[in-house]
Chain A
Amino acid sequence: MNKVLVGVAMCLSLALAGCSSTSKVSGKSTAVPIEERSSGVGGEAGGGVPGAGVSTAGAPGASLASGGVGAGTGARGGDGAGAGAGTAGAAGAAAFQTQALGAAGAEGQSLGGSAGSVAGTGNPVTDPRFKDPNNILSKRIIYFDFDSYAIRDEFRAIVEAHARYLRENPSVRSILQGHTDERGSRDYNLALGQRRAESVKQAMSLMGVQDEQVEAVSLGEEKPAQEGHDEVAWQLNRRTEIYYQGE
Chain B
Amino acid sequence: MFPKSLLSFLTSVRPWLSAFLIASLLAPAMAGAGMTIEIIGGATNKIPVAIAPFVGDAGKEDDPAEVVRTDLQRSGMFELVSTSGLGKPGEAQSIAHAQWRARGADAVVVGQANRLPDGRMDIRFRVYDVVRQIQLAGFSYVVPAALSRTVGHKIADVVHEKLTGISGIFSGRVAYILKRAGRYELQVADTDGDNSVTIASSPEPIISPIWSPNGNKLAYVSFEHKKPVVYVQNLADGKRKAVANFRGSNYSPAWSPDGSQLAVTLSKDQTSAIYLMDADGGDPVRISRGGSLDTEPAFSPDGKWIYFTSDRGGTPQIYRMNTSGGELKRMTFEGSYNVSPAISPDGRYLAYIRREGVGFHVAVQDLETGQNQILTDTLYDESPSFAANGRTILYATLVRGKGVLATVSVDGLIKQRLSLSGDLREPAWGP
Contacts and interface: CB of A to CB of B under 8 A. Distances in A.
A67 interface: yes
B4 interface: no
A110 to B, nearest CB: 9
Given A187-B295, A187-B296, A67 B226 contact: yes
A37 B237 CA distance: 24
A98 B233 CA distance: 11
B340 interface: yes
Given A96-B241, A184-B353, A191-B293, A217 B251 contact: no
Chain A interface size, as a band, is 35 or more
B380 interface: yes
A96 B163 CA distance: 50
Contact of A188 (B195, B241, B296): B296
Interface stretch (A19-27, A124-132, A151-159, A162-170): A19-27
Nearest to A97: B242
Q: Which 7 A-B pairs have the closest CB atoms?
A: A88-B247, A217-B227, A34-B202, A222-B205, A92-B246, A185-B339, A191-B272
A33 B224 CA distance: 11
A99 B195 contact: no
Interface in B188-202: 195-202
A97 B380 contact: no
Nearest to B401: A229
Interface stretch (A1-9, A115-123, A134-142, A192-200): A192-200
Contacts of B246: 64, 88-89, 92, 95
A101 B238 contact: yes
Contacts of A98: 241-242
Chain B CB within 10 Å, residue with most, of A29, A99, A177, A229:
A99
B73 interface: no
B245 interface: yes
Interface residues of A, dominant DSSP: loop
A219 interface: yes
Interface residues of B, number: 74
B205 A223 contact: yes
Interface in B50-109: none
Interface in B345-404: 353, 355, 360, 380, 382-383, 398, 401
A64 B245 contact: yes
A55 B203 CA distance: 19
Given A66-B242, A96-B242, A37 B203 contact: yes
Nearest to A56: B245
Given A25-B147, A97-B242, 13 more contacts: A22-B197, A24-B146, A30-B235, A30-B236, A32-B240, A54-B225, A97-B245, A98-B242, A100-B240, A184-B339, A191-B309, A192-B293, A193-B249
Nearest to B223: A222
Given A188-B340, A192-B293, A89 B239 contact: no
Interface in A63-80: 64, 66-68, 72, 76
Contacts of B223: 219, 222-223
A61 B207 CA distance: 29
A187 B251 CA distance: 7
B204 interface: yes
Given A49-B226, A53-B225, A191-B293, A32 B182 contact: no
